[in-house]
Amino acid sequence: MRIGILAAMQQEVSILKENMSLTKVTSANNCKFFFGKLNDINIVVNQSGIGKVAATIGVATLLEKYQSNIIINIGSAGAFSANLNPSDIVIGSKLCYHDVNMTGFGYKMGKMAGQPLVFSSDQELVRLAKRASSQIETHVMEGLICTGDTFVCNTKHRKFIQKYFPSAVAVEMEGAAVAQTCHQFNVPFIVVRVISDVANHNSAENFKKLLPDTIPKILSEVTIEILKLMKVSMHSKKP
């Protein structure tokens, strides 16, 4: 069993890498992959780069080249829900694209031809992520996360997305691409985000404030807790 852990930015995995027992570092497809153990579970961590294509390449490499059995995608997001504030945790039980438009062919906004409109995270991993997040001293929400190759930082763009996806709780730049890749590989996945901003004109400034310390700290804590629970779950299933 090997768990692939992917984040877009180096800062998002910095503390996690400090906590793992590193055994080797390799490069593939212009990305670095960090192998080791955490809570006696074999993991490989990838800092993929920002955006949908970078995330897809990272996940595909984790799955095909490095035989990961489960994908945990961690990172930051902008809040859409009024019940979310910076440093809160969002568990993406559902993921969709906000920047796919094939409505001219009769598809709903966000739906790519041949793909589901909404991708669903593995329900057992959602359950474990919720339990793990409850150990962190912050608010936790589960729901739909929208993905697109845009850093949403103005009210007009935010309202445009919310018009088509009124139930969305957060927005970011990789989750649905991770979800689609795992869906096509038939591999279970979970997407976990820490809220960095509220997707308005102050987003970039707020994001920069939380990125160096707060975001990596919370992401590391949640991921470590998820792995602890996965270890317990795996042992309980042994005959």
- For the segment(s) 2-236, the CATH number from 3.40.50.150, 3.40.50.1580, 3.30.70.260, 3.30.70.100 is 3.40.50.1580
Question: Digits of tens for pLDDT over the chain (239 positions)?
Answer: 999 999 999 999 999 999 999 999 999 999 999 999 998 999 999 999 999 999 999 999 999 999 999 999 999 999 999 999 999 999 999 999 999 999 999 999 999 999 999 999 999 999 999 999 999 989 999 999 999 999 998 889 999 999 999 999 999 999 999 999 999 999 999 999 999 988 888 888 888 888 889 999 999 999 999 999 998 876 666 55
Two tokens, residue 52:
């949908």
d(CA 64, CA 49): 18
Question: In the prediction, which pLDDT does 166 show?
Answer: 97
Active site residue 88: no
Question: In the prediction, which pLDDT does 46 show?
Answer: 97
Active site residue 197: yes
Is the separation of the CB atoms in 11 and 53 below 8 Å?
A: no
Q: Parse the chain into domains and list their residue ranges.
A: 2-236
Beta-sheet pairing, 2-7 with 70-79 = parallel
Which residues touch 115 (CB under 8 Å, ≥6 apart)? 180, 183
Catalytic residue among 88, 142, 174, 197: 197
Is the separation of the CB atoms in 179 and 121 below 8 Å?
A: yes
Supply the DSSP symbol for 236: H
Question: In the prediction, which pLDDT does 129 show?
Answer: 97
Catalytic residue among 12, 88, 142, 225: 12
